[in-house]
Structure 1
Amino acid sequence: MQITKNIYATHIEEDPSSFGAMHPGGTHIYFVGDPQEEMVMVDSGEPYRSWTNQILGFYNELGRPKMSAILITHGHGDHIGGLDRLQEEFGCVVRCHPKLEPAMSHRLGQGTVEKLRSREMVTTGGGVRLRAYFTPGHEEDHICYHMAASKVLFTGDTILGNSSSSVRSLKDYMSSLRILAGLKPEMICP
């Protein structure tokens, strides 16, 4: 589904038979940019083959756009599952927090993962620009991505849609929320 001019999402429903459902209401995987030019994807979801197949099906529906990067919000399994298969299919780099990079490079191979810097600007097709904000709290390697021109914020697990986030450090989490509030987003994409 197309959410805005440059944001597309596929919705993945939680398998009701899975033990301990983690995603009340399901999960969105976002493709950002212009499918006629270049796009990035935010996170890669759970490691289930059905999830990866749905993401690849949506990628095909978008016309198999050139992918410049997969942007990771943090290193939990429900955000990096299927990453190896998707990175290989897209032929792009994975961008993540410096604390996560060694584990991702070990998993995916040297030269496939690049560290992001706090407040680094990532550009993609359609003139889309996303700024990476280090937002520890839920996890120390957490990053949110802000599209200032569209006032859209991709929040990973810092802000959730249908439940509360678990927090590793309340002090860091509150500080991160203050930073995000200062961005004055009009749309949040958890």
Structure 2
Amino acid sequence: MSTVRIDHLVTSGTFSLDGGTWDVDNNVWIVGDDDEAVVIDAAHDADAIVAALGGRRLVAVISTHAHDDHVDAAPALAERTGAPILLHPADRELWDRTHPDRAPDGELADGQVLTVAGVELHQIHTPGHSPGGVCLYAPALGTVFTGDTLFQGGPGATGRSFSDFPTIVESIRERLLTLPPATVVRTGHGDSTTVGDEAPHLQEWIDRGH
């Protein structure tokens, strides 16, 4: 069996919500071996993601949440590869704003496990940035993919529709900061961090009230 690895590419595009549009760079994570893989957040550029897959079988297109910058390339990637798009149902309203004519193929659910190349990805429902935000914890790889729930330096933004600051703080406190401190946090934008680096700052975030 070939070694499981995490490939990372950054794609660029826009994020639109509540009448505003912003230029953004997104992290796209590919987890798998030489034969099969999953894509976490198909952002902006299906061609670049297909190239990074390099002919491997795509098991699933996993959406940590349904903000348009994280799912805009998902239908094209699914069409190119035949892989199902998976999304937590609580984010379906957001999804439908971007892709009204293309439903996701399956649902993510708290506690479920998706296996790729022999590695388990545990689904952790972490609402707050959006109602259906999901993080994916891979114990064997010592990493968690947090989408826009937890970044280096604090929680994801909660200033727009469908988001709530107390909810995201509770999600991070109860579901993410309880993971082993050495767990690498691979985020939806920007640099990675670790659970141990972020945990001491929880009260600061609360006091700051992002």
Q: Give the TM interval when normalised to the shorter protein.
A: 0.7 to 0.9
Letter in 1 for 2:102: L
Conserved 8 A contact 1:87-1:94: yes
Distance 1:152 1:71 in 2: 16
TM-score norm. by structure 2 comes to 0.72
Amino acid corresponding to residue 53 of structure 2 in structure 1: Y
Contact 1:101 1:113 in 2 (8 A): no
Residue 174 (structure 1) aligns with: 169
Q: Does residue 1:7 correspond to 2:11, yes or no?
A: no
Choose from 37, 40, 43 the match for 2:38.
40
Q: Which residue of 1 aligns with 2:120?
A: 129
Alignment of 1:149-160 (within 5 A): 149-160=140-151
The answer on whether the counterparts of 2:88 and 2:107 sit within 8 Å (CA) in structure 1 is yes
- Indicate the residue corresponding to 2:106 in structure 1: 114
Counting only pairs closer than 5 Å after superposition, residues 1-150 of structure 1 correspond to structure 2 as: 5-12=4-11, 20-22=22-24, 26-36=25-35, 38-46=36-44, 51-60=45-54, 64-101=55-92, 103=95, 107-108=101-102, 113-125=105-117, 127-150=118-141
> What is the aligned-residue RMSD (CA, Å)?
2.5
Structure 1 residues 165-174 or 82-91, which shifts more?
165-174
Q: Which has the higher strand share?
A: 2
Structure 1 residue 53, shift from structure 2 partner? 2.1
Q: How many corresponding residue pairs?
A: 170
2:155–2:169 CA contact under 8 A, matched in 1 = no
Q: Give the CA deviation at 1:163.
A: 7.9
CA contact (8 A) 2:60 2:84 kept: yes
Residue ranges of structure 2 left out of the alignment (5+ in a row): 15-20, 188-210
Gap change, CA 1:180 and 1:128, over 3 Å in 2? same
1:136-156 deviations in whole A, cap 9, x for unaligned? Answer: 011111001000122201010
Unaligned runs of at least 5 residues, structure 1 = none
Letter in 1 for 2:9: T
Runs of 4+ deviating beyond 4 Å: 101-106, 161-164
- C-alpha change, 1:162 and 1:173, in structure 2 (3 Å) is closer
Report Cα offsets for 1:116-172 as digits up to 9, x if no partner: 2211000011x1110011100111110010001222010100123588621121221
Q: What's the TM-score once normalised by structure 1's chain length? A: 0.79
Change (3 A) 1:162 1:54: farther
Q: Secondary structure at the match of 1:107?
A: coil
